[in-house]
Amino acid sequence: MKQKGVEDFASKRVWVIGASSGIGEACTIALIKAGAKVALSSRRAERLNALAQAGDQEQTLVLPLDVTHQEQLADAHQSILATWGGLDLLLFVSGIYTPLRADNFDFDVAQKTIDANLLGPMRAVAVVLPEMLKSHAGHIAIVGSVAGYSGLPKALAYGPSKAGIINFCEILYYDLLPQGVSVHMISPGFVATEATAQNDFEMPALITPDEAAREILKGIQAGVFDIHFPKRFSGFLKFLRILPYPLYFWILRRFVKI
Ligand SMILES: NC(=O)c1ccc[n+]([C@@H]2O[C@H](COP(=O)([O-])OP(=O)(O)OC[C@H]3O[C@@H](n4cnc5c(N)ncnc54)[C@H](OP(=O)(O)O)[C@@H]3O)[C@@H](O)[C@H]2O)c1
C-alpha cells in the first residue's frame, strides 16, 4: 500500500504554520504561485499580511498564532473550515533553535524548545486529525531535521525535539496509511534562514529556502513519507546513524568542528 500524493496544488487548501520566514515563507510563496489556497500562520502578523499580498484575496487567509497555545490553533482551524469548508494539507514548518551544550545546559530553553518544536506539531495534529479521519483524506507534513537522526553537538534541546518528530511521524504514518491520510516527514539539512544566520561555523551543503521548498513540495506531490535533502548531506547522516557508537562518536570528534 502506498500513500497518496497531491496531484496538483491548484485550489488545494493548505495551512502553513511557520509561514513568516525562511523555509515556511518559501513554501508559502511557491504554493500561492501554484494556485493553492493558503492559510498563513505564525506569531508575526505584519509579515504574514505582507506575504499574503502575493496572492489574491480569496486565495489567502492570515491567521496569526503561537503554536504553544492549543486554543489559538483550534480557533485558526475553525476559521479555515468556516472559510474553505475543509483542509487538504497541514504543512507544519515552525520551529526554534537555540545552540545548547552540556556546559551551558538551560532547562528553560529546553522546555521552550520541546514546547514549540515537538508539542507544537502534536497540538496542530490533534486539531486537524478528527476531520481528516472522518473524510479519510488529507495530508500532514511536518518539518523535523536531520539533527533528529542522532545526537549532534550544540543541539542538546533542538536534537531531542527533532528526534521526537521522527518517532511521532513514523507512528502517525503507520496508523494513518490504512485511513487514507498521508504523512510526510521532512528532514532538511542546512538551509540559509534567520535560524541558521546565528551559526558561527561553515555549514556543509547549505541550500536556499527556495531549494528547500522545491524539495518539500515535490516530495508531498509524489506521496513520499521520508522527504530529506540535500541528499549528499542527509544521506551521509543517515549512514552515520547506523554505525556502532564507538565509530559514530570517533567520526563526530574527528570531523565535526563546531
Ligand atoms: N534552516 C535550517 O538549516 C533547518 C534545518 C533543518 C530543519 N529546519 C527546520 O525548519 C523549520 C523552519 O526553520 P527556518 O530555518 O525556516 O527558520 P526561521 O526562518 O527562523 O522560521 C521559523 C518559523 O517558525 C515560526 N515560529 C517560531 N516559533 C513559533 C511559535 N511559537 N508559534 C508560531 N510560529 C512560530 C516563525 O514565525 P514567527 O516568529 O512569526 O512566529 C517562523 O515563521 C524549523 O522547524 C527548523 O527547525 C531548519
CATH at residue 98: 3.40.50.720
- pLDDT at res. 200: 84
pLDDT at 258 over 80: no
Ligand 1 pocket list (CB less than 6 A): 18-24, 42-44, 66-68, 93-97, 116, 143, 145, 188, 190-191, 193-196
Is 90 within a domain? yes
Cα–Cα dist 24/92, whole Å: 8
Q: Which atom of ligand 1 lies closest to the CA of 47?
A: 40
Query: Is residue 28 a part of any domain in this protein?
Result: yes
196 in a domain, yes or no?
A: yes
Whether 203 maps to a domain, the answer reads yes
**pLDDT per residue over 132-183, tens digit each?**
999 999 999 999 999 999 999 999 999 999 999 999 999 999 999 999 999 9
* 104 grid coordinates: 551551558
Does the predicted model carry a pTM greater than 0.85? yes
Average pLDDT, the chain: 97
Q: Read out DSSP for the chain?
A: ------S--TT-EEEEET-SSHHHHHHHHHHHHTT-EEEEESS-HHHHHHHHTTS-TTTEEE----TT-HHHHHHHHHHHHHHHS--SEEEE-------B-GGG--HHHHHHHHIIIIIHHHHHHHHHHHHHHHHT--EEEEE--GGGTS--TTBTTHHHHHHHHHHHHHHHHHHHGGGT-EEEEEEE--B-STTTTT--SPPTT-B-HHHHHHHHHHHHHHT-SEEEE-HHHHHHHHHHTTS-HHHHHHHHHHH---
Domain assignment present for residue 4? The answer is no
What spacing in Å lies between the alpha carbon of 2 and ligand 1's midpoint?
30
Question: What pLDDT sits at residue 255?
Answer: 86
Residue 49 domain-assigned (yes or no) = yes
Lowest mean pLDDT among 11-25, 34-48, 243-257: 243-257
Q: Which domain holds residue 102?
A: 13-255
* 131/105 Cα distance (integer angstroms): 40
Question: Per-residue confidence at 202, pLDDT binned at 50, 70, 90?
Answer: confident
Q: Which ligand 1 atom lies nearest to the CA of residue 203?
A: 3
Mutate to test the pocket of ligand 1, among 40, 41, 42 (most ligand atoms within 8 A of CB): 42
**Structural domains in the chain (count):** 1
pLDDT in tens, 85-128: 999 999 999 999 999 999 999 999 999 999 999 999 999 999 99
Q: Is residue 5 part of a domain?
A: no
Q: Over 80: is that where the pLDDT of 257 sits?
A: no
Q: Which amino acid is at 231?
A: K
Going by C-alpha positions, the residue among 226, 95, 235, 234 that lies closest to residue 169 is 226
Q: Quick one: which atom of ligand 1 is closest to the CA of 20?
A: 43
pLDDT-derived band of residue 240, with 50, 70 and 90 as boundaries?
A: very high
Is residue 147 a part of any domain in this protein? yes
* Ligand 1 centroid distance, CA of 96 (Å): 5
Report pLDDT digits (tens) over 17-33.
999 999 999 999 999 99
Q: Which three cell numbers stand for residue 29?
A: 510563496
